[in-house]
Amino acid sequence: MAKRKNISAAQAWEQALTSVSRLLQKFDSNMQDKAGVSVIWYDVLLHLHHAPEKKMRMQMLSKSLVLTRSGVTRLVDRIEKAGLVRREAAVEDRRGYYAILTDEGEEALAEAQEVHRKDIRTHFGARLDKAEQQAVFNLMSKLRFED
Amino acid sequence: MAKRKNISAAQAWEQALTSVSRLLQKFDSNMQDKAGVSVIWYDVLLHLHHAPEKKMRMQMLSKSLVLTRSGVTRLVDRIEKAGLVRREAAVEDRRGYYAILTDEGEEALAEAQEVHRKDIRTHFGARLDKAEQQAVFNLMSKLRFED
DNA sequence: CGTGAATGTTTGCAATGTCAATAGTTGTCA
DNA sequence: TGACAACTATTGACATTGCAAACATTCACG
């Protein structure tokens, strides 16, 4: 790895923020253009896809989302209107609702995923070798935090 | 560094996105609470601060911003209304305008920066040693791209 | 020059996001 | 039981964003 002059924590953070943010914007517009789904929708669909029975309580979903923790009611409203998700009252707690991935939602997700994988390959995978990718994962894991 | 099982490019990206996004949300709410300025405003103020004569053409500013590339006219409207920035017609091109950092804007920036530096120290600096910070910088630089 | 394409910024309007207030439900504990 | 706090999700009111259209100015070139 090339030697460079010493960097401050702020500069490192700045660089991470900028790169991630720009990449995300790129991924988003690509996904929107080619699969008709924004990364925010993708975020929702993916979480549901991985959830048991492909369903999640609104609150759980809201806490899991990476982008946007608020406005989930309306976000789900919109995705529901597009038919990619449906709602179902929770039998065990009548205050609650589940958001459930529909078959149509699965399909949309698959399509989005295809676009996304290609983007990751060309913009991320192609610029970092395996060891570097591993390093990114490890370093970023250390920064992870829940709230 | 601890040994872990092999990770895919997608997982590494996912981790980077999640950590950066969560940290940013934290930084934003802290800055908002303690300095009355969002990271988006901070982004604007900081860019102006670093620009020659602390002024930038709208378009240049818009392209430099890390978060949000659109809606800059209105964003500047709001910041202007708060007195942290002012506009001035460009003499050399009468289509253009400069956004200029005011003294009040400098002050707000300084305050925000103080909050931000502390946040970076506790959430970023404290979790990664110098070498790791350097690694983050180097790796993220490789992902950088302009459009 | 004069005319049309290109550039820089703002505006109108619809879509999206935020936050506090509300409605309905559950849980606790005397 | 019954009263009150805590929880879940939605709603209303309002702020912010996104995008195409409009404006004003400059540029290119016959």
pLDDT digits (tens, 9 = 90+) for A27-51: 999 999 999 999 999 999 999 999 9
Amino acid at B47: H
Q: Do A138 and B1 touch (CB under 8 A)?
A: yes
Nearest CA in chain B to A129: B9
B21 touching A, CB under 8 A? Answer: yes
pTM greater than 0.85: yes
pLDDT digits (tens, 9 = 90+) for B30-43: 999 999 999 999 99
- The gap between A84 CA and C12 C1' (Å) is 31
Q: Which two tokens stand for residue A96?
A: 């609650």
**A51 DSSP 8-state letter:** S
Question: Are A139 and B17 spatial neighbours (Cβ–Cβ below 8 Å)?
Answer: no
pLDDT score, position B104? 98
Alpha helices (runs of H) in chain A, residue ranges in sequence order: 9-35, 39-50, 58-64, 72-81, 103-120, 130-143
pLDDT digits (tens, 9 = 90+) for B76-95: 999 999 999 999 999 999 99
Q: Is the pLDDT reported for residue B3 higher than 90?
A: no
pLDDT score, position A69? 87
pLDDT digits (tens, 9 = 90+) for B16-26: 999 999 999 99
- The gap between A93 CA and D6 C1' (Å) is 14
Q: Is the pLDDT reported for residue A4 higher than 80?
A: no
Question: Are A73 and A58 spatial neighbours (Cβ–Cβ below 8 Å)?
Answer: yes
pLDDT score, position B5? 72
pLDDT score, position A147? 66
Collapse the DSSP code of B85 into the 3-class scheme (helix H, G, I; strand E, B; otherwise coil) and give the result.
strand
Determine the average pLDDT of the residues in A60-64. Answer: 96
pLDDT score, position B69? 87
pLDDT score, position B1? 59
Categorize the per-residue pLDDT at B145 as very low, low, confident or very high, splitting at 50, 70 and 90: confident
pLDDT score, position B146? 72
